[in-house]
Structure 1
């Protein structure tokens, strides 16, 4: 096996990780899992003297071997089924055994929610850096809904591991089959498990990955914290950070109100449901449908935001994102929309992760067009 390259990057502090968790929750569009448990794992590892190094993909040699990772399953289950802490490293070592070489760095398969922190947890356990990129620029419910698939990378070998030490390696004929089989395995393993997929050389990630998304998430989370500490409006700070990111620059408040109805169930390995939010003065109602992630927002029946654009429900005072498994009746919220990265809005991408892929009414119209931003 080859040795990992020695690279200089940026070392992330615990405060950085807290800001990153806040930003990842927002970019998750309600999904990707609650970052709380992953943050606690990282906090414990940093307290033991370990460090997280964040590097740019361009700093890697083309033949560096990279492993995207995350968790697959229903967020409602992952909130209750805590990890053992061994899953990710077991999967990484199995990948290395199959490929015959060391993994040089890791990255999140999606930067949204808890999965945005999953690569940091694995990096700390494996002693490798984290690459500042991901495959979605947000979170999506199905693993083929990723830029790596859209741009022709192969998902397999896909390696699933659970808290009991089970390990399943998938080799499939295509990436859609990988999602279906991985989902079935996740259900069998208790509804949630760790997944390593779309491993590739750095030359492929340089061409295909969405770059700088971890830095964007960190800046988003930091902006909210600093605004609150300074007594300023955290939503204004959030929109400034989104605009500065350039990837998520069209953003604004879609609705302000209180959750008056909530339907949520776990179905086929997904958390599926709907949140109904009424305006405080009455007369206006926003309905948000989700499948792990928030997919569509309708104001009095009229579409105001549609996948792949980001729809996140935030506490109206703190601007903390409320992920789908934490939504509750009576919460006072602001629903915020933001444009998805341009790479996710091409015709090729929309065929994989646009409204038609979820059986939603199309065609896709951007959040800027729908709201006149």
Structure 2
């Protein structure tokens, strides 16, 4: 049934979306600030629709930020860009949009549809196309099930708007859109993957926004009650489509290599594992892709690898990793729609040049 997200829920959503963002999707707390401003200018609430209740022929358009997370921290959008992009796509399609939806449920991009919804008076669908965050537009459950991201609209803070149509080739669309985003200052807002209500039900990962709110609330309530937030997180995950999560290793960040190239933040981090002589390693491309310890892979994409502060369970994005931080590397099992052969072909290890087979995260003790 429909439900309302109020300004008071934004902290829970920001924390939960950062947990599900696998280190990417943009800074959730910047997104929270923008969403709070947008909601303050309206009734203070945004209506969410369950995907099962959408009309078959409803027109749903996903909205998100495109670009390197390291740039988004310094070049904060005003919030109007995404509304401009959605209206441009609406004009191109020649019919009104029924609702918007997150392209990914992670970081700032969990909040971007709220900006469009508040400005344009639209509801948001409680679902997304990744169940986490991925760095490329083609890496969605929508595309894995045969939907085209074209046409898409891209807008920047200067009022520039472009509509891009690459036909059925989502990888070509990614290439064109990434070049546009780089020319727009390495970040831009977009409206993409226009689809019917029937397509949403067939291709989206359902109820991820409400799940993010539940996860964030569980961690914050545990802190307030002086309970272990990691235990609260693990317990809550068992009641979601993600099923479970666990700590892989804990330690101190001893080195971070990071570079912004071709519109992505790429790099790796090394972590001295507490109580051992071993080092853990994270490899990322906007999001964390793989976690290893002593040369052994512990978790790999599409399972979610996230970095949390060792005591508070506060998520650390890839652009926020710093030398000296004491962290836990925590893995969350990918929901079933991310583990199909079609999905693994789109965003499994091979899609990132990782030469190993995907082995689903299994319950058990950490590394």
Q: What TM-score bracket applies, with the shorter chain setting the length? A: over 0.9
Out of 339, 344, 351, the residue aligned to residue 345 of structure 1 is 339
2:226 corresponding residue in structure 1: 231
- Determine helix, strand or coil for the equivalent of 2:47: strand
Pair 1:370–1:319, CA change in 2 (3 A): closer
1:3 corresponding residue in structure 2: none
Instruction: Find the aligned partners of 1:284 and 1:356 in 2 and give their Cα distance.
Output: 27
Does 2:13 correspond to 1:20? yes
Instruction: Name the stretch that deviates more: 32-41 or 228-237.
Output: 32-41
Specify every segment of 5 or more residues in structure 1 that has no aligned partner in the other structure, as ranges. Answer: 1-7
Instruction: Find the aligned partners of 1:337 and 1:317 in 2 and give their Cα distance.
Output: 16
Out of 159, 172, 180, the residue aligned to residue 177 of structure 1 is 172
Instruction: Find the aligned partners of 1:309 and 1:92 in 2 and give their Cα distance.
Output: 31
- Given that residues 12 and 53 in structure 1 are in contact (C-alpha distance below 8 angstroms), is that contact kept between their aligned partners in structure 2? yes
Pair 1:95–1:20, CA change in 2 (3 A): same
User: Per-residue deviation at 1:369?
Assistant: 7.3
1:214 corresponding residue in structure 2: 209
User: Per-residue deviation at 1:10?
Assistant: 1.1
- Given that residues 305 and 370 in structure 1 are in contact (C-alpha distance below 8 angstroms), is that contact kept between their aligned partners in structure 2? no
2:40 corresponding residue in structure 1: 47
Pair 1:43–1:369, CA change in 2 (3 A): closer
1:319 corresponding residue in structure 2: 313
User: Per-residue deviation at 1:112?
Assistant: 1.0
- Please tell me the root mean square deviation across aligned C-alpha atoms, in Å: 1.5
Instruction: Find the aligned partners of 2:185 and 2:179 in 1 and give their Cα distance.
Output: 10
1:5 corresponding residue in structure 2: none
2:294 corresponding residue in structure 1: 300
2:121 corresponding residue in structure 1: 127
Out of 1, 4, 10, the residue aligned to residue 3 of structure 2 is 10
Instruction: Find the aligned partners of 1:371 and 1:347 in 2 and give their Cα distance.
Output: 28
Instruction: Find the aligned partners of 2:196 and 2:337 in 1 and give their Cα distance.
Output: 21
Does 2:249 correspond to 1:255? yes
Specify every segment of 5 or more residues in structure 2 that has no aligned partner in the other structure, as ranges. Answer: none
- Given that residues 26 and 109 in structure 2 are in contact (C-alpha distance below 8 angstroms), is that contact kept between their aligned partners in structure 1? yes
- Determine helix, strand or coil for the equivalent of 1:330: coil
- Given that residues 127 and 205 in structure 2 are in contact (C-alpha distance below 8 angstroms), is that contact kept between their aligned partners in structure 1? yes
- Determine helix, strand or coil for the equivalent of 2:289: strand
Pair 1:276–1:372, CA change in 2 (3 A): closer
- Pairing of 1:267-306 with structure 2 (within 5 A): 267-306=261-300
User: Per-residue deviation at 1:280?
Assistant: 3.0
Does 2:348 correspond to 1:354? yes
1:92 corresponding residue in structure 2: 86
Pair 1:232–1:372, CA change in 2 (3 A): closer
- The alignment covers a number of residue pairs equal to 365
Instruction: Find the aligned partners of 1:181 and 1:46 in 2 and give their Cα distance.
Output: 33
User: Per-residue deviation at 1:49?
Assistant: 4.0
- Given that residues 31 and 75 in structure 1 are in contact (C-alpha distance below 8 angstroms), is that contact kept between their aligned partners in structure 2? yes
- Given that residues 304 and 370 in structure 1 are in contact (C-alpha distance below 8 angstroms), is that contact kept between their aligned partners in structure 2? no
- Determine helix, strand or coil for the equivalent of 1:244: coil
- Pairing of 1:27-176 with structure 2 (within 5 A): 27-50=20-43, 51-173=45-167, 174-176=169-171
Runs of 4+ in 1 over 4 A off after TM superposition: 369-373
Instruction: Find the aligned partners of 2:239 and 2:257 in 1 and give their Cα distance.
Output: 35
Instruction: Find the aligned partners of 1:205 and 1:281 in 2 and give their Cα distance.
Output: 47
